[in-house]
């Protein structure tokens, strides 16, 4: 929604917005663009000459602002529909779908096209470090959109990605998630097939060849040419790992080696993201071999395994992972990058699926590479974190508040540790507060 606001502002519209919990980096980006931010969903925020309202999918009937819009008869739409009607017509749309990796892959795809001269527009669910904004119109033919399977709005229960009508679609992976709206995996597969139905015959699908769930989706019917990507299986686009942490790999296309990549990202999952983005850029007409040297310049989106600080041998990362598979692959990448370090994971179970306990049984196995785990187990968490802690390979702790959690980290983190904060929310600023505390210990005279 912040990206939609940024695009509307770039189109010359006067824009303001309301949210229950506004936090960086999106809040600072919007303020810099001149978008007024108001806290809370108050009807009075809609007073004055409001002509159109774009409603995010977090809002339901009964929300005071929603009720005010309906009672006043103010025209309203969803973010996905607004984008489809106001930005995407006439563009070559490249949509990036998948349970994991959408933000990183979308950011990388936009980066490659941009550096190859394509000047793309984009809408990404994070803030790319290389662009400094999560959305822009661009002046090239291509528009890259992070394509979410979550529902569109309280009045439109279709997945958001069916609105985008992409010419090129990446299907990065597919697992069970969003337990608050999908009863089972089959329901999500059905939505992915709805997306496939919207891609034209002269377009292209870029599909993870290692994902059985996606293979099952394609088997329901496919009317578009498919290019596959993978590491451990036969695929059109393949990678051969040249470094255990995924920081170097060789790329092959249809069996022919086209070059090597050395970059700053880690993890097997990011190599898969890289193959998907490269294949999509090639499908849009860009030279894949010319793109390979650009990977070394890529800095990635904020809060996707973002290195915040190094102090006394302690590396502090901030990461958005909130699904067991994403947690496991991220931690495996960190373990490969810091093989001799004690790995400390700090988790806030914040996504709807995580809070509901849909992933609780898989959480401990996903944390296998850690030595220490610290959970933020707020009192309202409906499942017992101690049961997860009891099955961890290493040491585990749970605290009911961020203040208590930070105090625990102060007591247990030592020189040489690698600490990674994992949450898909603001985490009450915990990662930066921890870094500030490390700085204060090192420089007590500076406060």
The pair of structure tokens assigned to 335 is 């373990």
Q: Which position has the token pair 């992070």?
A: 146
In a domain, 369, yes or no: yes
Residue after which a domain boundary falls, among 74, 101, 130: 74
pLDDT for position 178: 59
pLDDT for position 385: 74
- 17-21, 312-316, 347-351: range with lowest mean pLDDT: 347-351
Binned at pLDDT 50, 70 and 90, residue 328 comes out as confident
User: What is the average pLDDT score of the chain?
Assistant: 89
In a domain, 439, yes or no: yes
354 and 292 both lie in a single domain: no
42 and 167 both lie in a single domain: no
The pair of structure tokens assigned to 271 is 């190599």
30 and 177 both lie in a single domain: no
- 86-95, 300-309, 391-400: range with lowest mean pLDDT: 300-309
In a domain, 80, yes or no: no
166 and 283 both lie in a single domain: yes
Q: Which position has the token pair 């007073």?
A: 47
The pair of structure tokens assigned to 167 is 């010419």
337 and 262 both lie in a single domain: no
Give φ, ψ of 396 to 5 degrees. Answer: -135, 145
In a domain, 176, yes or no: yes
One-character DSSP codes across 84-134? HHHTSTTSEEEEEE-SS-HHHHHHHHHHHHHHTT---EEE-SS-BTTTSSS
- 66-80, 122-136, 144-158: range with lowest mean pLDDT: 122-136
The most confident of 127-141, 175-189, 362-376, 382-396, by mean pLDDT: 127-141
Domain that holds residue 388: 306-446
Asked if residues 19 and 43 have their Cβ atoms less than 8 Å apart, the reply is: no
pLDDT for position 446: 46
Asked if residues 391 and 366 have their Cβ atoms less than 8 Å apart, the reply is: no
Instruction: Assign residue 386 the CATH number of its domain.
Output: 3.90.190.20
pLDDT for position 414: 92
- Do β-strands 248-253 and 237-241 pair in parallel, antiparallel, or remain unpaired? antiparallel
Task: Compute, in degrees rounded to 10, the torsion defined by CA atoms 392, 394, 396, 402.
Answer: -110
Residue after which a domain boundary falls, among 235, 263, 297: 297
Asked if residues 18 and 43 have their Cβ atoms less than 8 Å apart, the reply is: no
**288-300 pLDDT, tens per residue?**
999 999 999 998 7
Mean pLDDT over 75-82 rounds to: 97
Asked if residues 226 and 217 have their Cβ atoms less than 8 Å apart, the reply is: no
In a domain, 81, yes or no: no
Phi-psi region of 208 (alpha: psi -120 to 50; beta: other; left: phi over 0): beta
Instruction: Assign residue 119 the CATH number of its domain.
Output: 3.40.1190.10
341 and 231 both lie in a single domain: no
- What totals of helices (H) and strands (E) does the chain contain, helices first? 15, 22
Q: Which position has the token pair 């290493």?
A: 394
Buried b (16+ CB within 10 A) or exposed e, 421-439: bbbbebbbebbebbbeebe
Instruction: Assign residue 28 the CATH number of its domain.
Output: 3.40.50.720
The secondary element (H helix, E strand) that includes residue 395 is strand 395-399
Distance in angstroms between the alpha carbons of the first and the last residue of the chain: 37
In a domain, 365, yes or no: yes
40 and 142 both lie in a single domain: no
Total of domains in the chain: 3
361 and 422 both lie in a single domain: yes
Pairwise CA distance, residues 391 & 171, whole Å: 33
Binned at pLDDT 50, 70 and 90, residue 254 comes out as very high
Binned at pLDDT 50, 70 and 90, residue 352 comes out as low
Residue after which a domain boundary falls, among 297, 319, 354: 297
Instruction: Tell me: pLDDT of 447 over 80.
Output: no
Mean pLDDT over 175-198 rounds to: 84
Binned at pLDDT 50, 70 and 90, residue 100 comes out as confident
Instruction: Tell me: pLDDT of 82 over 80.
Output: yes
287 and 329 both lie in a single domain: no
Omega within 30 of 0 (cis) for the link into 25: yes
229 and 150 both lie in a single domain: yes
165 and 246 both lie in a single domain: yes
Mean pLDDT over 217-226 rounds to: 97
Contacts of 277 (CB under 8 A, 6+ apart): 105, 108, 109, 112, 170
Residue 147's CB is within 10 A of a number of other CB atoms, namely: 28
Residue 336 CA: distances (Å) to CA of 231, 264, 303, 416: 17, 13, 19, 15
Contacts of 445 (CB under 8 A, 6+ apart): none
The more confidently predicted of residues 146 and 127 is 146
Phi-psi region of 357 (alpha: psi -120 to 50; beta: other; left: phi over 0): left
In a domain, 82, yes or no: no
In a domain, 341, yes or no: yes
41 and 68 both lie in a single domain: yes
């Amino acid at each position: 929604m912040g990206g939609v606001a940024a695009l509307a502002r770039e189109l010359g519209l006067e824009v303001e917005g309301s949210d229950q919990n506004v936090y960086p980096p999106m809040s600072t980006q919007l303020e810099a663009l001149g978008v007024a931010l108001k806290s809370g969903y108050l009807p009075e925020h809609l007073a004055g000459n409001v002509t159109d309202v774009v409603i995010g999918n977090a809002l339901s009937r009964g929300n005071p602002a929603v009720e005010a819009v309906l009672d006043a008869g103010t025209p309203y739409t969803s973010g996905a529909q607004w984008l489809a009607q106001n930005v995407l017509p006439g563009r070559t749309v490249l949509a990036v779908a998948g349970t994991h990796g959408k933000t990183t892959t979308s950011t990388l795809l936009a980066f490659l096209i941009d550096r190859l001269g394509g000047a793309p527009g984009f809408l990404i669910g994070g803030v790319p470090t290389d662009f400094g904004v999560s959305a822009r119109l661009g002046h090239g033919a291509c528009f890259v959109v992070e394509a979410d399977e979550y529902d569109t709005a309280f009045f439109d229960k279709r997945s958001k990605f069916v609105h985008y009508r992409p010419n090129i679609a990446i299907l990065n992976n597919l697992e069970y998630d969003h337990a608050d709206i999908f009863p089972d995996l089959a329901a999500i597969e059905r939505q992915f097939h709805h997306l496939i139905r919207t891609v034209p015959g002269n377009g292209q699908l870029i599909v993870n060849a290692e994902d059985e769930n996606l293979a099952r989706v394609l088997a329901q019917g496919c009317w578009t040419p498919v290019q596959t990507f993978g590491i451990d299986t036969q695929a059109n686009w393949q990678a051969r790992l040249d470094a255990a942490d995924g920081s170097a790999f060789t790329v092959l296309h249809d069996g022919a080696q086209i070059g090597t990549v050395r970059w700053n990202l880690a993890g097997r999952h990011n190599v898969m993201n890289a193959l998907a983005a490269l294949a999509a850029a090639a499908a849009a007409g860009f030279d894949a071999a010319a793109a390979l040297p650009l990977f070394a310049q890529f800095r990635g989106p904020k809060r996707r395994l973002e290195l915040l600080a190094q102090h006394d041998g302690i590396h502090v990362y901030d990461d958005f992972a909130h699904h067991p598979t994403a947690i496991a692959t991220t931690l495996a990448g960190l373990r490969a990058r810091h093989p001799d370090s004690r790995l400390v994971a700090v988790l806030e179970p914040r996504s709807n699926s995580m809070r509901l306990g849909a992933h609780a049984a898989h959480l401990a196995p996903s944390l296998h590479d850690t030595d220490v785990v610290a959970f933020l187990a707020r009192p309202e968490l409906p499942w017992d974190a101690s049961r997860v802690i009891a099955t961890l390979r290493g040491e585990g702790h749970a605290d009911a508040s961020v203040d208590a959690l930070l105090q625990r980290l102060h007591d247990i983190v030592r020189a040489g540790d690698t600490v990674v904060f994992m949450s898909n929310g603001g985490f009450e600023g915990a990662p930066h507060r921890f870094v500030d505390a490390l700085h204060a210990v090192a420089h007590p005279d500076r406060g």
